[in-house]
Amino acid sequence: MEFTIKSGNPEKQRTACVVVGVFDNRKLSLAAERIDRAAKGYISDIIRRGDMEGRLGSTLLLYNVPNTLADRVLLVGLGRERDFRDREYYTAVRNAVKFLNETGAYEAVIYLTEEKVRRRDIGWRIEHTVIAACGATYRFDHLKTESSDVRRPLRKLTLSVPMRSDLLIGETMLARGIAVGEGVELARDLGNLPGNLCTPAYLAEMAHKLASMYPGEIKTRVLERKEIEELKMGAFLAVTQGSETPPRFIVMEYKRPGVKKKPLVLVGKGITFDSGGISLKPPADMDQMKFDMSGAASVLGVFRTIAELKPDLHVVGLIPACENMPSGRAVKPGDIITSMSGQTIEVLNPDAEGRMILADALTYAERYEPEAVVDVATLTGAIVVALGHVACGVFGNHEGLMRALVAAGDDAADRAWAMPLWDDYHEALKSNFADVANVGGRPAGSITAACFLSRFAKKYPWAHLDISGVAYREGKEKGATGRPVPLLVDWLLSQENRDG
C-alpha cells in the first residue's frame, strides 16, 4: 500500500473516502465538525438519530455528503474521549482501514491522525497509523491456489496533519512507520510459513537475501553442523540431533560507517518446528509449534527495518535454528550434555529445548564484548498464564536495560512487563548430576527458564523477552503477529545517541 502525507480541509478532499472520528458521547472530532459545518448539520442529524454512537472501533459509511468533494465519508467510533490513548487509537485506525480494505475503497484520506492522543505527538500518530494500517491489510495467502476475495483492496492511504509545519516531522515518521511495517510483515510471513517450508536453511536463505538487498548495510554468515561442532555448541547440537533437517547458526551484522560503539546483540530462538522431542507434545494444537521460530523471525524483521532507516548503530543478530524432533538419535530425559560455556546440563525435559539453543548463542555473543544482549524467544507457556496475550515478559541482569525495553514497548504500543529474577528461583534448577537442570518444575516456569539463561549471560548486560503470549494468535485469527519487532526497533533507535 502507498502512503502519503498532506495538510488540508477534509471537506475539500477529492478522494474515494475521508475518514473522521466520533466519540461515544456523540461528540464529533474536529475534522468531522468541519465536514458537518460544510454539510449544514448532515452528520449531526445522523448522530442524533442514533445511527452512530461513537463506540470504539464502530464504523458508518456515508455516501454523497452535501458540500464535500469525497465520494464517501467514513465515521469511526473513538470511544470515550477521556480514555482515548494509544491502544484506543490503534483500534480505531485498524478498524477503519480494515473496513476500507474490505469494501472496495481504493484510496482514502484519514483524519484520525489529527486527533489528540494522550502523551502522543503528531509524529507518533503518523508512525503508528502506518503500522496499524499495514497490520489491518496484512494477508497471508501465498500458499492458496485460489482466493475467494474479489474486492478491490485499499491501495493508497493519505495521512492528514493539522498544519503545514507538521509536514517535515510527518514525512520522517511516515518513513519510520513504513520501515517498521515492513519488518513486522517479514516476521509475520516467516512465522506463518509451515515447518516443511520454513526450515533452518530457509531462515539462512532469508538472512542472505537481506544482505543482498542491503549491500554494505548487512553482512550475513551462516555456520553449518561441522562449524557448530567445532565451536563445541553441545547444548544446541543436543536439541538438533534427533532431526533429519540440518541446523544452521546464523550471524548477521549491521554497522554504519564510523560507528565505534560496542554492538547491541539480538539473539532469536529459531526452532522451526517443536515436536517436544522424546517428551512429545499432545497432538492438539501441535501445528502451532511452527511459530516456535518467532524470535528468529523478529530478529530478521528488525534487521529489515534498521537497514531501511540506517541509524548510526552497530547491531549483531544471532539465530540458532533447528528442529526439535523425536528419533532414535534424539536426546533423552536424564542425558547430560556439555554446553559451549563448559557448563554441564541435565536434560530433564527435551521439550525445554529453546533455552538449550539460546544458552550456546548467549555464550557465542561474548566474543563481541557487547554493550547489551537481548534474546527473544517463545520460551514458556507459563508466561501466557502470567501475562496473557497482552504483554511479553522482560527478565534480565541489568535494571537499566530492562527499564529501557519496557519503555520502548510502551512507546511502540507493543507492551512488555518486567518480571523478577531473584536468586531464590535458581534453587529449582539444582541437579544432583550436572551443573544445572534444564527445567525447574511447573511453579514459576517462565522465571526459572530465565534463570537458566542467566547462567550463560553473566559477562554483559542481558535481557530476555519471553514472547510466547504475543508472537502469534490462536483460534479463528490464528497467525503470527510480528511482535516484538516494534518494541525492538524502538529500543534500538533510542540507543542511537547513547554515550559509548
Report the catalytic residues: 281, 355
Q: Are 97 and 127 in contact (CB under 8 A)?
A: no
Q: Which helix (H) or strand (E) holds 79?
A: strand 72-79
How far are the Cα atoms of 131, 269, 335 from residue 178, in angstroms, in the given order? 7, 26, 48
Nearest to 313 by CA among 185, 490, 467: 490
φ and ψ of 155, to 5 deg: -110, -25
Is 445 in a helix, a strand, or coil?
Answer: helix
Nearest to 23 by CA among 34, 10, 32: 32
Q: Are 350 and 479 in contact (CB under 8 A)?
A: no
For residues 361 and 359, give the distance between their C-alpha atoms in angstroms, rounded to a whole number. 6
Angle CA 215–291–263, to nearest 5? 40
For residues 234 and 231, give the distance between their C-alpha atoms in angstroms, rounded to a whole number. 9
Is 72 in a helix, a strand, or coil?
Answer: strand
Helix axes 445-454, 354-364, angle to 10 degrees: 30
Q: Are 466 and 472 in contact (CB under 8 A)?
A: no
Q: Which helix (H) or strand (E) holds 364?
A: helix 354-364
Nearest to 89 by CA among 63, 124, 47, 140: 124
Nearest to 238 by CA among 290, 277, 280: 277
DSSP H stretches of helix in 53-102 = 86-102
Nearest to 314 by CA among 375, 227, 364, 254: 254
Q: Please, which residues have CB within 8 angstroms of residue 100's CB and are 6 or more apart in sequence?
A: 17, 19, 74, 108, 154
How far are the Cα atoms of 90, 428, 439, 449, 458 from residue 446, in angstroms, in the given order? 29, 12, 10, 5, 19
DSSP string, 243-299: -SSPPEEEEEEEE-TT--SPPEEEEE-EEEEE--TTSPPPSTTGGGGGGGGHHHHHH
